[in-house]
Chains A and B, each alone.
Chain A
Amino acid sequence: MLKQAKSCFAWLLGLSFTSQFALADDVKRWGVNMTQGVTDVSREIYGLHMDIFWWCVAIGVVVFGVMIYTMIAHRKANGAKAANFHESTTLEILWTVVPIIILVIMVIPATKTLIKVYDTSEPDLDVVVTGYQWKWKYEYLNQDVSFFSSLSTPQDEIYNRAPKGPNYLLEVDQELVIPTKQKVRFLITANDVIHAWWVPDLAVKKDAIPGFINESWTYVEEPGIYRGQCAELCGKDHGFMPIVVRAVPQAEFDAWMNKKREAAAAIAEAAKQTLTFDELYAQGEAVYQKHCAACHQADGKGIPPTFPAIAGSPIANGDMRAHIDRVLNGGQGMPPFGEQLTPVESAAVITFQRNAFGNNTGSELQPIDIVNFKQGL
């Protein structure tokens, strides 16, 4: 029996120390504490956290110390006779006043830090952060740059068909790039449900609420990559909408912004081209897997009734304009994709949906049709 228990215990230890899954060497394991982060504010918050933690430890040592002492010393089995005291106004006043003093000591620095966190005035750069089910949109205010940022971890890693990389679930297709040594203000909102934008190293966590704009800010000194996640339950893929912030020196940032603007111009140019059906279908399949499959499923069967099937769908087999309208503008719980898909991608994915999964409309769509639709033509 004992032997069995022992081997069982060894097995459990083995499980937790030499885990079954492949672990990359650069994954920080057994983390026990809050990050100090990379900003003044995050270090102050870490300091508050440690202060209150040590107060708790001190109180715990006293209270649990007395408890353990009394449980050893005052056992009936050791012949302890019960005393009969049951009141002491002095004690009651003492252990009301002392905690109040400790609280006041804690509250002063906490208030100072809070005032600092709330000072969103005079930013050098504004970024509008919009939460979508289940991705983030970043828009550099008055800079003509905006893009979506979504999870880039492949499904194969999530479903254990491929080894997981070190940044598993914490990697995105397009990072948010910000300049170092600049006060960056985040204007945080959401398009559908409530999300929360959280980057631990920046100590920024703010709810993204549809219809409202919350403000937060950061000032990063050192270049680096800082990873975070959505912190408010926002539906099915809440666990799959990470945040990656790359802080770079101002010059590098400016160059990156220019490149982004050029890319936007290239997309507008690409909208003018005409593609063959096969090109549209192939590109559409890729877009579908990236943007549509999370809900409508890779096989197009959906998860009815919340996520209807594309296969045999009245929309994908019906009027073309209704189909374009649904994809670009959303509806019945589906988010709009008009802003995050380029005209080429929209045309491709609609063409794909109308000809895949047994749908057989034979119809195809060119990027220019999307541009025209958007202009009401």
Chain B
Amino acid sequence: MAHGPAKGITRWLYTTNHKDIGSMYLWFSFLMFLLGGVFALVIRAELFEPGLQIVEPEFFNQMTTMHGLVMVFGAVMPAFVGLANWMVPMMIGAPDMALPRMNNWSFWILPFAFAMLASTLFMEGGAPNFGWTFYAPLSTTYAPPSVTFFIFAVHIMGASSIMGAINIIATILNMRAPGMTLMKMPLFVWTWLITAYLLIAVMPVLAGVVTMMLMDIHFGTSFFSAAGGGDPVLFQHVFWFFGHPEVYIMILPAFGVVSAIIPTFARKPLFGYASMVYATASIAFLSFIVWAHHMFTVGMPIAGELFFMYATMLIAVPTGVKVFNWVTTMFKGSMTFETPMLFSVAFVILFTIGGFSGLMLAIAPADFQYHDTYFVVAHFHYVLVPGAIFSITAGVYYWLPKWCGNMYDETMGKMHFWMAFIGLNLTFFPMHFAGLAGMPRRIPDYNMMFADWNMISSVGAFLFGAAQLLFLYNVIATIVSGKKATDRVWEGSHGLEWTVPSPAPYHTFSTPPEVK
């Protein structure tokens, strides 16, 4: 029965093994993270000083668009799917994912989608230049020809996400070891189960909206063209009906990762497990009824404006519950601060700051001043970078010894953390100020009154970028020549994944474990 992986390239092409596929997802997402990061650095380099120095406005817009698309669909989402592939079966005592062939397929269509998206940079007319939110009619009537390739790439990414989500739901609902009841599952498994339902609910909506664009562009329909009886605002409603749950898709699994790490290094069980599960479900539900808070300035009737303001403010309640639970988990623990814990503590603090600015943005009248300024850019980067990215990084440091059997270099890990932490705050904190002072987002040039904050942001961005190269080096060095790790790895670790040897064998839990 026990057999290892196939030899050569076919191991990766044909594999149905959840660990192989998880690794491919993670490497792919890191590659996309670097690519999206390069786009971000082009933006920050141009914004270093007022005036146009490095790129033209046309290319600048392509960079903001591609940065957003690559980071959201190429870096964050696949990274979480990679973590799920590796960890969900091992956490619930399953031998593999429920649908292993579909698992292979859902990964392998991704590189093609992103190759197609990236190739638009070299096309006549350039890459998509209408922002990652691609509002019509800028993205339809006024779009460059490459928009068709963008649409097809989004279709493929959506198909990949839907297949991944189906697989995760099927695995969690059908393949738990005996005794692993739903309310015994690690929180990472819970958050991913809920995320998977969100994905299945909203990715088809995204596919629908890009298909309507395709029809408008090539087949003479007028869904989004007022001249033909359509409505450009319809686009925004449909897009954000996808887009708001999408932002929770990028943060709920992060909650799960952090909820695994903090108890380990506080050496104390997670506080309020059941309330964490209910809070996650509440956030997921609320995510479907708040979408138009992205559209407070489109001219909705006041009743709609008020409804979306109230519903949005409500999100603060379950999110607050989560933060309070993490803090109480730490309280009276016996804490150590290894790299995963550092990233997780930073996650709690900085994500909360992002939550605060989110609460401010929810106040509709105040949003008239915040909307589409750098304040918004600061807000969503505070929830996505120290939120999604830090939790993924924490997860990698936390589980890497289990994956490859070797311990990473702690000093280098801490150095990575502090560089990333300082770099990110230097980059994104001044954006709050620039935005409040009146700087609109998505502009390649600005008045001198915003110059100082922008210069600091640009310096911070390059520091943050450099930190990621150190991360890459540390991971490779660990895999190649790290010290041997124990099976438990961490003194305070609990859960099925720590009961298997390090590195985890190619097949784990061929015989289901008994969960008491």
- A residues with a Cβ closer than 8 A to B are 12, 15-17, 19-21, 23-24, 27-35, 44-45, 48-49, 52-53, 55-56, 59-60, 63-64, 66-67, 70-71, 74-77, 80-88, 91-92, 95-96, 99-100, 103, 106-107, 110-111, 113-115, 117-118, 133, 157-160, 164, 166-170, 192-194, 196, 198, 200, 203-207, 209-212, 214-215, 228-240, 303-306, 333
Contacts and interface: CB of A to CB of B under 8 A. Distances in A.
A211 B229 CA distance: 9
Nearest to B353: A60
B452 A239 contact: no
Contact of B306 (A30, A114, A194): A114
A32 to B, nearest CB: 4
A99 B452 contact: no
27 contacts: A20-B49, A24-B448, A27-B449, A29-B452, A30-B452, A30-B453, A31-B433, A31-B437, A34-B369, A45-B365, A66-B327, A74-B330, A86-B268, A86-B272, A88-B272, A91-B328, A158-B51, A168-B447, A203-B368, A205-B372, A210-B226, A212-B226, A228-B438, A229-B440, A233-B138, A236-B61, A305-B124
Interface in B486-516: none
Given A59-B356, A158-B445, A48 B440 contact: no
Nearest to A103: B313
Interface string B131-160: 100010110011011000000000000000
A196 B364 CA distance: 16
Interface string B304-339: 011001100110110011011001111111111100
Contact of B138 (A100, A193, A230): A193
A207 B448 contact: no
A110 B449 contact: no
Given A85-B271, A87-B273, 7 more contacts: A31-B449, A48-B365, A70-B333, A110-B309, A115-B302, A206-B299, A215-B299
Nearest to B138: A193
B3 to A, nearest CB: 42
A198 B463 CA distance: 34
A364 to B, nearest CB: 33
Given A29-B451, A60-B356, A114 B371 contact: no
B298 A207 contact: yes
A63 B319 CA distance: 13
Contacts of A210: 137, 226-227, 232
A167 B268 contact: no
B316 to A, nearest CB: 6
A77 B135 CA distance: 53
Contact of B137 (A20, A81, A118, A193): A193
A235 B267 CA distance: 53
A15 B445 CA distance: 18
Given A32-B433, A63-B324, A168-B447, A238 B364 contact: no
A194 B135 contact: yes
Contacts of A232: 135, 372
Contacts of A111: 306, 309
Given A19-B49, A24-B448, A67-B330, A198 B440 contact: yes
Interface string B335-353: 1110000000100110011
B336 A75 contact: yes
Contacts, number: 317
Nearest to B364: A114
Given A35-B438, A210-B226, A27 B447 contact: yes
A84 B232 contact: no
Q: How large is the interface on B (under 10, 10 to 19, 20 to 34, 35 or more residues)?
A: 35 or more
Contacts of A240: 57, 445
Contacts of B267: 76, 82
B223 to A, nearest CB: 13
A56 B309 contact: no
Contacts of A84: 268-269
B414 to A, nearest CB: 15
Contacts of A15: 455, 459
Interface in B389-419: none
A114 B299 CA distance: 12
B360 A239 contact: no
Contacts of B227: 210-211
A117 B310 contact: no
B218 to A, nearest CB: 15
B305, B331, B337, B446: most-surrounded residue (chain A CB, <10 A): B331
B306 A96 contact: no
B275 interface: yes
A60 B354 CA distance: 11
Given A76-B335, A103-B313, A158-B51, A53 B360 contact: yes
Contacts of B275: 92
B50 interface: yes
B63 interface: no
Given A53-B360, A74-B331, A234-B138, A95 B268 contact: no
A82 B266 contact: yes
Interface in B180-211: none
B452 A82 contact: no
A319 B309 CA distance: 56
B335 A21 contact: no
B130 interface: yes
Given A67-B345, A82-B266, A214-B299, A238 B443 contact: yes
Given A81-B334, A239-B444, A239-B445, A87 B271 contact: yes
Contact of B447 (A91, A96, A169): A169
Contacts of B131: 233
A114 B232 contact: no
A82 to B, nearest CB: 4
B447 A83 contact: no
Contacts of B138: 193-194, 233-235
